Structure 1
Amino acid sequence: MPLARTKAEIFDDLVLDTVESLERRYAKELAGVEFAVEDVPPELNVYDSDVLEDGEVPLARLLPGRPGRHELPPRIVLYRRPLEFRAMDREDLADLVHDVIIEQVANLLGVDPDELA
């Protein structure tokens, strides 16, 4: 009998599928970029331009990284619950996750999202 997968595990797999596809094509550009999933966005009064929103609800955030002594790599964080809430079914969720990742990677690389899709 197969083990049941949680919503979080299914979501992580959707993220991984898109990231692996991008990394195959853009290995050099995405070297060192971290991808993460959080259940919900942090409580902030105002979100910066690095946050991808839908109706003032954050869906993802791009943290561009900081070179220097305490170097932090670029990081793209997806917020699982807001994305799940907007999807009608698993296929819709897969498309939404893909689109959000493409949008954030395009922002990071400074290219049009259509170039990555």
Structure 2
Amino acid sequence: MTTTPPASPAGRSRPARDRRGRGLRGPLAWPPVPTMTTRRDRFDDLVLAAAERARPWLGSRHGDISFAVEEVPPDDPAAWEVRATSLGRLVGTRSERRIVIYRRPVEARAGSQSEVAALIRDVVAEQVALVLGVPPDEISL
């Protein structure tokens, strides 16, 4: 029986294992798996989904309204707002309006991820109803 000589000078076909943490490393960027998304990313995705469901209600007349997410509401509430913590707000002038959803108060008020999604839909529906001048019960997202 004859043996064939090894292909590499050291006799190995693959790199040596990393014994002390200074050798080959894993991928530089992890694959985007759902478990690695942050709460902020999940919240942004939920707001985007609610905004897309609200677009047909806004129509072309109010199509210029944008949606945004901020961490907390400002310290100085508007004069017409009650003292309770605001979950969302319609800001801007008639030409540049924006519906802002506040992440921390929404997450604090909701208990689970499904409640966060439902509360986001309710807040977006309430703000869209404010724009359209109709009761919030008429808007279903």
Q: What range is the shorter-chain TM-score in?
A: 0.7 to 0.9
RMSD of aligned residue pairs (Cα, Å): 1.9
Structure holding more helix per residue: 1
**1:22 lines up with 2:54 in the alignment:** yes
Q: How many residues are paired up?
A: 108
Poorly superposed stretches of 4+, deviation over 2 Å: 24-27, 46-49
SS at match of 1:77: strand
In the alignment, structure 2 segments of 5+ residues that lack a partner are 1-30
The structure whose RCO (Cα within 8 Å, separation 6+) is larger is 1
Structure 1 segment 77-88 matched on structure 2, within 5 A: 77-88=100-111
SS at match of 1:57: coil
In the alignment, structure 1 segments of 5+ residues that lack a partner are 67-71
Structure holding more strand per residue: 1
Percent of counterpart pairs with the same letter?
40
1:57 corresponding residue in structure 2: 85
Under a length normalisation based on structure 2, what TM-score does the superposition of the two structures give?
Answer: 0.68
**AA aligned opposite 2:136:** P
SS at match of 2:86: strand
Q: 1:9 aligns with which of 38, 41, 65?
A: 41
Question: Could you say which structure has the larger radius of gyration?
Answer: 2
Distance (whole Å) between structure 2 residues aligned to residue 63 and residue 48 of structure 1: 13
Would you say the 8 A contact 2:125–2:136 is kept in 1? yes
Would you say the 8 A contact 1:83–1:97 is kept in 2? yes
2:137 corresponding residue in structure 1: 114
Shift of 1:64: 5.1
SS at match of 1:93: helix
